[in-house]
Amino acid sequence: MFGLFKKTLGVCLIGLGLGILLVLLLPLTGWLFAIGITICIVGLVWLTC
């Protein structure tokens, strides 16, 4: 049960980060771009743990 929750949360984090990145590729603002990348990385790390 907890493992399934962890994977779901990781996928949601990756999706959120990618969504932020896709929205922000139009007006390339550095700090929001960094936040999107950070969320993606956190999601990937969460999935691999």
Segment 6-21, tens digit of pLDDT = 778 778 788 887 777 7
pLDDT of residue 1: 64
Comparing 14 with 24, the larger pLDDT belongs to 14
* 5-8 long-range Cβ contacts below 8 angstroms, 24+ apart: 6/46, 6/47, 6/49, 7/47
In this prediction the pTM is 0.51
Largest CA distance in the chain: 40
- CA neighbor of 11 nearest in space, from 48, 44, 35, 49: 44
CB 23 within 8 A of CB 35: no
